Amino acid sequence: MIRCLLFISLLIHATLAAKAPNATAEAPNAGQKAPAGSPTKKWLTLNGQEPLVIARGGFSGLFPESSTYAIDMAKSQSLPGYAFFCNLQLTKDSVGICLSNILLDNTTTISMFYPKDQKTYNVNGKDIRGWFALDFTADQLLNNVSLTQNIFSRPSYFDGVLPIATVEDALGIKPDKFWLNVPYDTFYSQHKISMASFVEKVIRFPSMNYISSPEIGFLKTVSAKVNKGRTKLIFQFLDPEETEPTTKQKYSALVKNLEMIKSVAAGILVPKEYIWPVNKNNYLEAATTLVTEAHKQGLEVHASGFANDIVLPYNYSFDPTAEYLQFVDQPNFSVDGVLTDFPPTASETIACFAQNNNGTKPKKGLPLIITRNGASGTYPGCTDLAYKQAVDDGADIIDCSVQLSSDGVAFCLDTIDLNSGTNALSQFMTKSETIPELQAEAGVFSFQLSWHEIQSLKPQIQSPYGTKEKVYRNPANKDVGKLVTLSDFLEFSKTKAVAGILINIENAAYLASKAGLDIVKTVTSALSNATFDKQSTQQVLIKSDDTSVLSKFKDVKTYRRVLNIKEKISDATKASVDEIKKFADAVTVTKDSIVKISDYFISGKTNVVKEMKAANISVYVHWLKNEFVSLMFDYFSDPIIEIASYALDYQVDGIVTDFPATANKYMRCPCNDMDPKANIPYPILPVEPGSLLGLVVPEALSPAQAPSPALQASNVADPPLPEVVKKSDTSPPPSSSSSDSTDSGSKSTPAPGSPEKSSAFANAANLCLPLVAIVVLALLAN
């Protein structure tokens, strides 16, 4: 049965494959499979060769572990020479199956078919209750039970449809290398089932390159039976406080006796924290000397525990390629292999980002990197530190969303509500009120406080997935830096000679009619005072959701006007595009206005980019984030793949991001050229919309949603801006406790004021830590 399903899997795989340069057939999102890395790369591994990509259960970050889909996708998506990692369990009749957990109920549907067959066993000193492979024959498991994904953040759409794979089934797919891990030899021996006898049979397969175990006794038993020239024995370290069954010593003690380990093994497999410890606050500590010491003993070192869809140490800014680089691209060591649930990300790191710290010059035609509040994934947005970091990270365009204080000082902050981005509520709770014209929620609004009062506030880093998913950004930097005036922002931009700036203006109409503030005039004057209207060296983008605001800047021909389309749209009529053309040179649109999404899969593309570009209107996508919870399944929880897709397939002109370092890493890597003549060893290719979704049984999907409305011409133009009322004529903005229908992206209008210096850039220390250059996924198939 499993071989039949394997044939179907391969057939679907080939049919849905995305075509890549110099490739014949490829898996969904696959990159070309070719010799890895550059021949000039010199690795600090034990043998001087590139680190090994070890796929735990195949591509188990996407499909159920060791399923045919997972094994097949790992083969097509990984670097040549990769290894498939099978955690061995044995059935009652000694048939080997690949499953990591000794409890079948954690990874299969066993409880549905044999609900009364739970048992309790003592496993290495601990009583464990559940379903165990040794209580069932191979026929019982292979003909009835199917696999499930045991990590809830991963797709469940493939649960219950793919059978358990035997070791022979996995070998039949012919991975480049085969790594057999034997985790429970003592337990099986106690129940008269011999792991050693099984291993003795399968080591005759030529691709059986690695056999590992956390039990020294097992390695000693099989040592004499293994051809050491073909198969390497590896000792697996478990948690430091666990006890190794043979020596009865803790693994933390054994790691100090590498000479003894060398007597039974050619290498070690260790949790990654053995090499880079992580403290209780989830930051890296100094590296240990384990790799260096093991290499001195002639031991290979393979690190385990890599996955894209977990909260990584904050040092990595949610970029999984940055973590791999920490292990394979150090100046004094490199591990010999990485055991991962996401082999494509490990592959792209090794092939495209390792030893590419300086980066290559970005290829022409790639999108602009536009910040959202500076490097706001690393520091509180719109602060001096966020802007400095953005420049260091390689941003092309840095942005300032302009807000006004009650005394007319223009400064940068993401929204008019100071609660978003500062601690305003704790200091000025009495100022909090609801203004329906601005937003549904109560807020402390910038025009209610003087600049002196605003300067007393502490910026706050914003975590878009903190409240619900508990995924927080860099807590060590949660309230560092200072807010920046518009004049300081412009001066900084000129001093640093950034390629361009983006000035975002919102709520102009409200500020003019209710607060007596002319934001358009304030911005115009600031730009003129900084001579941005008299030069063409640096790009100036004026962005607004209000066409009347954009009209005020039409006379400065060097400015590019950008219409911010906040609403999700499925299309843009020709009349709407023609209307936009009257006011803007470019648009920003949301991600889901460019791609169609179904159950967290990408099902297709809209025509929005095509229609805008046909009218010579540039398209900037808003906004990209690194957190894995923001990424569709098609992107493999890898922000690099999302960037590659928007750059190469969706063909946007600019990417708005909180993490410019990640975008810059992709733009400067050698793997983003799709020209077949470029002979890229591992091209990072975009996803193929709908290809992954095509593997899902239709019955598992939610009912189709009605498409979003198309943009109409009547939605584009805004009424003229109102006159700016005199300050003496303004009354306090109406307060409301109602949260009924409001326009959270209200239109804007002008306000005067002479911005004073905040000295934030001058006073801030150079605390910005350069982000590690980041990674890209290469997709492939032979």
pLDDT for the residue numbered 183: 96
Q: What angle is formed at CA 207 by the lines to CA 24 and CA 173, rounded to 5 degrees?
A: 45
pLDDT digits (tens, 9 = 90+) for 552-579: 999 999 999 999 999 999 999 999 999 9
pTM (whole model) above 0.85:
yes
Domain membership of residue 538 (yes or no) is yes
The answer on pLDDT for 30 being more than 80 is no
* Amino acid present at 772: V
Distance between CA atoms of residues 438 and 418, nearest Å: 13
Which token pair is 769?
């830590």
Domain membership of residue 482 (yes or no) is yes
Least confident range from 24-33, 338-347, 448-457, 495-504: namely: 24-33
* Confidence grade of residue 61 (pLDDT, cut at 50, 70, 90): very high
Report how far apart, in Å, the C-alpha atoms of 170 and of each of 87, 158, 210, 505 are: 11, 18, 15, 58
Which residue range(s) make up the domain with 592?
368-700
* 574-611 burial code (b ≥16 CB/10 A, e <16): eebbebbeebbbbbbbbbebbbbbbeebbbebbebbeb
Which token pair is 151?
């990590």
pLDDT digits (tens, 9 = 90+) for 248-288: 999 999 999 999 999 999 999 999 999 999 999 999 999 99
Domain count, the chain: 2
The answer on pLDDT for 159 being more than 60 is yes
Q: Residue 398: enclosing H or E segment and its boundaries?
A: strand 397-404
* Confidence grade of residue 727 (pLDDT, cut at 50, 70, 90): confident
pLDDT for the residue numbered 761: 63
Cis peptide before 179 (omega within 30 of 0): no
Q: What angle is formed at CA 390 by the lines to CA 386 and CA 392, rounded to 5 degrees?
A: 120
* Closest to 629 (Cα-Cα) out of 431, 463, 411: 463
Distance between CA atoms of residues 195 and 222, nearest Å: 10
Can you tell me which residue has the tokens 């649109």?
A: 589
**For the chain, what percent of residues have pLDDT higher than 70?**
88
Indicate if 347 and 468 belong to the same structural domain: no
pLDDT for the residue numbered 774: 29
* Confidence grade of residue 736 (pLDDT, cut at 50, 70, 90): very low
Can you tell me which residue has the tokens 């070998």?
A: 171
pLDDT for the residue numbered 679: 79
Residue 452's contacts (CB-CB under 8 Å, 6 or more residues apart) are none
CATH of the domain at 315: 3.20.20.190
- The length of the chain is 782
The answer on pLDDT for 750 being more than 80 is no
Alpha-helical segments (H) within 241-398: 251-254, 258-262, 290-296, 320-328, 343-348, 384-392
Ramachandran sector of residue 146 (left: φ over 0; alpha: ψ -120 to 50; beta: rest): beta
Distance between CA atoms of residues 539 and 556, nearest Å: 12
* Closest to 620 (Cα-Cα) out of 500, 523, 528, 520: 500
Pairing of β 300-306 and β 267-271: parallel
Distance between CA atoms of residues 109 and 129, nearest Å: 16
What dihedral angle (degrees, nearest 10) is formed by the CA atoms of 752, 756, 760, 762?
130
Indicate if 334 and 375 belong to the same structural domain: no
Mean pLDDT throughout 296-318? Answer: 98
pLDDT digits (tens, 9 = 90+) for 683-726: 898 999 999 999 999 989 999 888 999 999 999 999 999 999 98
Domain membership of residue 319 (yes or no) is yes
Indicate if 314 and 428 belong to the same structural domain: no
Indicate if 453 and 427 belong to the same structural domain: yes
The pLDDT mean for the chain works out to 89
Mean pLDDT throughout 164-186? Answer: 96
| Domain end position, chosen among 641, 665, 700 | 700
Pairing of β 595-598 and β 601-605: antiparallel
Indicate if 198 and 335 belong to the same structural domain: yes
Indicate if 314 and 413 belong to the same structural domain: no
Mean pLDDT throughout 510-537? Answer: 97
Distance from first CA to last CA of the chain, Å, rounded? 25
Domain membership of residue 543 (yes or no) is yes
- Asked if residues 562 and 589 have their Cβ atoms less than 8 Å apart, the reply is no
pLDDT for the residue numbered 364: 84
Distance between CA atoms of residues 92 and 348, nearest Å: 41
Residue 509's contacts (CB-CB under 8 Å, 6 or more residues apart) are 546, 548, 719, 721, 722, 746, 747, 748, 749
| Domain end position, chosen among 700, 729, 746 | 700
Report how far apart, in Å, the C-alpha atoms of 603 and of each of 404, 566, 594 are: 42, 22, 11
Mean pLDDT throughout 326-335? Answer: 97
pLDDT for the residue numbered 314: 98
Distance between CA atoms of residues 64 and 55, nearest Å: 13
- Asked if residues 398 and 493 have their Cβ atoms less than 8 Å apart, the reply is yes
- Asked if residues 345 and 636 have their Cβ atoms less than 8 Å apart, the reply is yes
The answer on pLDDT for 757 being more than 60 is no
| Domain end position, chosen among 302, 324, 353 | 353
* Closest to 755 (Cα-Cα) out of 550, 484, 463, 573: 484
Domain membership of residue 15 (yes or no) is no
Indicate if 431 and 535 belong to the same structural domain: yes
pLDDT for the residue numbered 205: 86
Which token pair is 39?
């021949």
Domain membership of residue 680 (yes or no) is yes
Beta-strand ranges (E) seen in 166-299 are 177-181, 208-213, 232-236, 267-271
The answer on pLDDT for 89 being more than 90 is yes
Indicate if 340 and 467 belong to the same structural domain: no
* Closest to 414 (Cα-Cα) out of 453, 388, 380: 380
Distance between CA atoms of residues 447 and 403, nearest Å: 8
Domain membership of residue 297 (yes or no) is yes
Over the Cα atoms of the chain, what is R_g? 29
Which token pair is 134?
């040794």
Indicate if 485 and 585 belong to the same structural domain: yes
pLDDT digits (tens, 9 = 90+) for 428-470: 999 999 999 999 999 999 999 999 999 999 999 999 999 889 9
pLDDT digits (tens, 9 = 90+) for 583-614: 999 999 999 999 999 999 999 999 999 999 99
The answer on pLDDT for 747 being more than 80 is no
pLDDT for the residue numbered 431: 95
Mean pLDDT throughout 393-417? Answer: 98
Indicate if 328 and 404 belong to the same structural domain: no
The answer on pLDDT for 4 being more than 80 is no
Indicate if 377 and 235 belong to the same structural domain: no
pLDDT digits (tens, 9 = 90+) for 118-145: 999 999 999 999 999 999 999 999 999 9
* Confidence grade of residue 675 (pLDDT, cut at 50, 70, 90): confident
Domain membership of residue 336 (yes or no) is yes
CB neighbours of residue 44 within 10 Å: 18
Q: 731 vs 546, which has greater pLDDT?
A: 546
Distance between CA atoms of residues 544 and 498, nearest Å: 21
Mean pLDDT throughout 495-513? Answer: 97
pLDDT digits (tens, 9 = 90+) for 46-55: 999 999 999 9
The answer on pLDDT for 315 being more than 70 is yes
Residue 139's contacts (CB-CB under 8 Å, 6 or more residues apart) are none
The answer on pLDDT for 216 being more than 60 is yes
Residue 581's contacts (CB-CB under 8 Å, 6 or more residues apart) are 615, 616, 617
Indicate if 51 and 176 belong to the same structural domain: yes
What would the DSSP string read from start to end of 624-687?
E---GGGS-GGGTT-HHHHHHIIIIIS--SEEEES-HHHHHHHHTSTT----GGG--SS-----
The answer on pLDDT for 96 being more than 90 is yes
* Amino acid present at 753: G
Can you tell me which residue has the tokens 């696999």?
A: 147
Mean pLDDT throughout 465-493? Answer: 96
Distance between CA atoms of residues 244 and 246, nearest Å: 6
